[in-house]
Amino acid sequence: MLERTDTPGRLTRGLAAALIAVTTLVLAANAGPTRGAEPSRTQHTPHVNPDADSSAARTGVR
């Protein structure tokens, strides 16, 4: 037959479980996504409207 666990043993296990849970939550909160690489300027191609007049197309003003 199973014996009943004494009170200090239960409190110790409960405290250990709570400490592990808090530690796990803190570590998970600090493990955010890493920073990506800086975007390269060569990847972006500006949109040019062929219907716009040439002066606006050169300056980027519409």
8-28: pLDDT as tens digits: 999 999 999 999 999 999 999
Residue 36 three-state SS? coil
| pLDDT of 61 above 70 | no
Question: Which residues make Cβ contacts (< 8 Å) with residue 41, sequence separation at least 6?
Answer: none
CB of 51 within 8 A of CB of 62? no
Regarding pTM above 0.75, the answer is no
pLDDT of residue 2: 78
Q: What are the C-alpha distances in Å from 39 to residues 32, 42, 60? A: 20, 9, 21
CB of 57 within 8 A of CB of 49? yes
Per-residue pLDDT averaged across 18-47, rounded?
Answer: 78
